[in-house]
């Protein structure tokens, strides 16, 4: 069941990514981020890290899960430095949340 959710979400994210490139709209990017966080929450119970960041963290490891490293390579091929940028953006979102809470 989780595999189906992940695959469906990845397909949806791919469609939104293509749409975003065509439309250049920020609402598409926000929708992609929301879906990404939702899937991460459903699959890993982690709402604080996106799939792209997770892939980037696995790419930093010499031996990480092949699927996630492969997905990270695909994401980076579609958008140069995508996974590292996602890691930075997750950190910025966390800092902004801490600022609001503090």
Residue spans of the domains in the chain: they are: 1-47, 50-102
What stretch of H or E contains 49?
A: none
- Please give the pLDDT value at position 69: 92
Which band of pLDDT confidence, cut at 50, 70 and 90, is reported for residue 99?
very high
Q: Would the pLDDT of 100 be above 80?
A: yes
- pTM here? 0.71
State both tokens at 79. Answer: 């958008």
- Please give the pLDDT value at position 60: 95
In angstroms, the CA 102 to CA 96 distance is: 10
Q: Would the pLDDT of 22 be above 60?
A: no
In angstroms, the CA 64 to CA 13 distance is: 23
Which band of pLDDT confidence, cut at 50, 70 and 90, is reported for residue 40?
confident
Q: Decide if 30 contacts 22 (C-beta within 8 A).
A: no
């Amino acid at each position: 069941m989780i595999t189906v959710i992940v695959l469906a979400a990845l397909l949806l994210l791919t469609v939104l990514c293509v749409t975003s490139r065509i439309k250049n709209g920020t609402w598409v990017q926000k929708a992609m981020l929301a879906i990404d966080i939702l899937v991460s929450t459903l699959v890993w119970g982690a709402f604080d890290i996106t799939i792209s960041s997770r892939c980037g963290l696995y790419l930093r490891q010499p031996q990480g899960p092949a699927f996630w490293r492969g997905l990270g390579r695909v994401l980076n091929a579609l958008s140069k430095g995508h996974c590292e940028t996602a890691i930075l953006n997750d950190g910025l979102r966390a800092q902004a949340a801490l600022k609001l809470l503090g």
